[in-house]
Structure formats: C-alpha cells, structure tokens
Amino acid sequence: MIKHQDIKQRFGIIGNSNKLDRAINTAIQIAPTDISVLITGESGVGKESMPKIIHYNSQRKHNKYIAVNCGAIPEGTIDSELFGHEKGAFTGASDNRQGYFEVADGGTIFLDEVGELPLSTQVRLLRVLESGEFMKVGSSQVKKVDIRVIAATNVNIEEAINKGKFREDLYYRLNTINIKMPSLRERIEDIHLLFRKFASDFADRYHIPPIRLEEEAIELLHNYSWPGNIRQLKNVAEQISAVEQDRSISFETLKNYIPKQNTTPVLFKDEQAENDISEREILYKVLFDMKNDLNDLKRVTNELMGNKHQEIDNEKVINHFIEKPATSIKEEVEEKDEETFLTLQEQEKIMIEKALQRHQGRRKDAAEELGISERTLYRKIKEYLL
C-alpha cells in the first residue's frame, strides 16, 4: 500500500492538513485507471503536483509525461503545439511537426489552465477524449493516440460555460473525477511548516543562516489570507531571507513584507476573469490614475474657452466609463478625443512594463499582478512591442 508520507517526500509536497491528504488519496486511488481528471483550485496552490502523482503511480509511468501550460501559448499557434502541423499548413510551417499529443502517445498529458483554450481547440480536444483521434493542422489524415488527459484550471468553468467560453460537453468529459486542491488559508496548520522549509531552502541556496520567526510573527503568518497561496508565501520567505540581516524575524519585520489586506472591493480580479473583463479593469485603473490630470485639464480648458459653466464632472466621466464594456470605452474615447485614447494606451503600456520589471520578465507572475490571463498579456506585449 502506498503511504502518503512516501508520496509527499517523492513529489516535494509539504503539509499534513486533512484536505491536502484527501486530494492526495484521491489521486492515488484513481492513478491505476485511465479515467480523465480535472484538478481545480486557486492559483498558486500546487495543482501541478497531482498529475505527477497520478502518472507515476499508473501503468503509464514508463511512458512520457508532458505538461502544457495552455494559457502561455498564443491562440494562433496552440492547435499546432498540441496536435502538430503539416509542412506548408501556414506561413512559417517549413517542416512537418509532431504535437504534444502525438509525442506523449502511450503516456499522460497534463493541460494546465485548460480554461484558457479557444473554442476551436476545445472541439479538437473533445474528439481526442472521446475517440483518441485527431488531425494535424493542414492535414486530412486521422491519427490515433492512446493517451491519458489530466487537466487543471483556476477558472470557474461553470461560469465560463454560461458565458459561452467553454464547451459543456468537454467539461463533463474532463470532469469525470474532480480533485479540489485546498487554498493556503484552508491549511493554516501547514503555513509555518511551509515557511520553515522555504527558509531552509533559501539558506542553503544563498549560503546564509536560515531565518526564524518569533511567536507574534508566526501568528501574523497564520492570520494573513495569502491570496497568492504557496507561491506568495515562498516569495515572502525568499525576500526576507535575502534582505534581513537579523535572522530572528519579529512581527514588525514580517509585517513589512506582507501586503495590507483590503476589505473593500478591488478593481482587479484573479485569473478567473475573462479576457474582455480583464482589459476593462486595466482601463478602469488607467482612468482613475488620470483623474488628477482631468482636474488640470478642466481648469486649463475653462480658462482658454471662457466657458466655466460647462465644467467637467470627473466622477460622472469615470462612472460613465465603468458602466461600459472595454470595447465601448475604447470606441467612445477614440471618437471624442484621439489624444486621450493615446494616453490610455501609453498608461496601459507603462503598467505592463512595470509589472514585467517587478517580476524580472516572468509573464505568469506579471499577468497575475495585472489581473489578466497570460495569453492576454502575451498579446499586449506583442501589440506594444515590449
């Protein structure tokens, strides 16, 4: 019988919470089957560990295991990446190419961020799940594969289905077994344990003594909600390890590394937001950042035009935009004032540049900070030539 502790040690999983153990137990139980699995949970909870547990405890363990981040592949090339293409299928297709499904034949493919797949690709994926068949891009020849599909998402798939963004039949085909990964705030007993492990790892990496939290600092660690989950906790541990000279970390010191919790509604959503909503939220932030500029513009305009009775009401302007979708904002601003639209573009570009700089070019982390999908960020980078 496979022991949880052996599994945790092999795959680097830390924690003893009941919800974590339940997820691991489910993965072990269904590993010997070929049943499709959907892993759900917030960003940064460690969903990528579950498909590895399933694969390496299955009869396919000696064959290939391929993990694909669907959100990181541009929409125009994702079919080619997954299913391959024939020479001449599109501009730049100079050779025949095998896709991930063909390469992983006989093994397991893990589709991370499956909720980001375009509808056309979802149709192809559904065919593979139902019949094991697919066609390369630019080919009419049907290929057969024997492959197990494990998918993961932090998107609310049922909401995406209602909005026409995700196929209902594909959802039920993927969601034969659902493994829910708990958030860090649901594993309070594991938080300090994880922090100590990260502190020890960074001490070894940087050849420094490990940091140690004082009692009040541990309490703060437990009381924080950790919206970025394990990824955020690891980032905080690394920052403190690298920066602080005193290796005993007090409450006051730790507080400087943990963002203040915001109890009011925020403009930015997590990766569950669709691309169009995310773009609108960026524009909201830009509009609020421009509020002070509008004050100056109002004053100068009134002085030049001598038309003080037609003063601009900033709040009405902003509320007017908030009630509209992103496309309407762009069209209306462009019609009324081309220079203001250019300013919006410039502001958006600056925000993206700063996010990329803060995360040393890591697009996934920058996209999380901006509240947009990685594919949307990729398109913006291409649009602004960043």
Total domain count for the chain? 3
CATH code at 53?
3.40.50.300
In a domain, 46, yes or no: yes
**pTM here?**
0.67
166 and 71 co-located in one domain: yes
- 268 located within any domain: no
Please check whether residue 285 lies inside any domain of the structure: yes
In a domain, 14, yes or no: yes
Cα angle 78, 83, 88 (rounded to 5 degrees) comes to 85
Say yes or no: 280 and 342 in one domain: yes
**Boundary of a domain, candidates 147, 182, 217:** 182
Residues 143 and 21 in one domain: yes
Residue 264 belongs to a domain = no
On whether both 130 and 251 belong to a single domain, the answer is no
| Residue 262 within any structural domain of the chain | no
Indicate whether 334 belongs to any domain. yes
Instruction: Choose the final residue of a domain: 182, 202, 237.
Output: 182
Low-confidence ranges of the chain (pLDDT < 50): 263-278, 280, 284, 307-312, 317-318, 321-322, 329, 333-334, 336-341
> Which residues constitute the domain of residue 99?
4-182
Buried b / exposed e over 326-340, threshold 16 CB at 10 Å, is: beebbeebeeeeeee
Instruction: Please state the φ and ψ torsions of residue 91, each to the nearest 5 degrees.
Output: -60, 125
Residues 236 and 285 reside in one and the same domain? no
Q: 173 with 195, same domain? A: no
The 10s digit of each residue's pLDDT in 57-113 is: 999 999 999 999 999 999 889 999 999 998 887 877 778 889 999 999 999 999 999
Torsion angles phi and psi, residue 163, rounded to 5: -90, 0
Q: What is the largest CA-CA distance in the chain?
A: 85
Please indicate, yes or no, whether residues 206 and 240 belong to a single structural domain of this protein: yes
> Residues 238, 326: one domain?
no
How far is 226 from 232, CA to CA, in rounded Å?
7
End of a domain among 165, 182, 199? 182
Say if residue 303 is in the same domain as residue 157: no
The DSSP letter of residue 39 is E
Residues 13 and 107 in one domain: yes
Which domain CATH number covers 218? 1.10.8.60
Please tell me whether residue 255 adopts helix, strand or coil conformation: helix
Q: Assess whether 332 and 202 both reside in one domain.
A: no
Contacts of 79 (CB under 8 A, 6+ apart): 85, 120, 121, 124, 137
Please report whether residue 270 resides in a domain: no
Q: Indicate if 128 and 196 belong to the same structural domain.
A: no
pLDDT score at 134 = 94
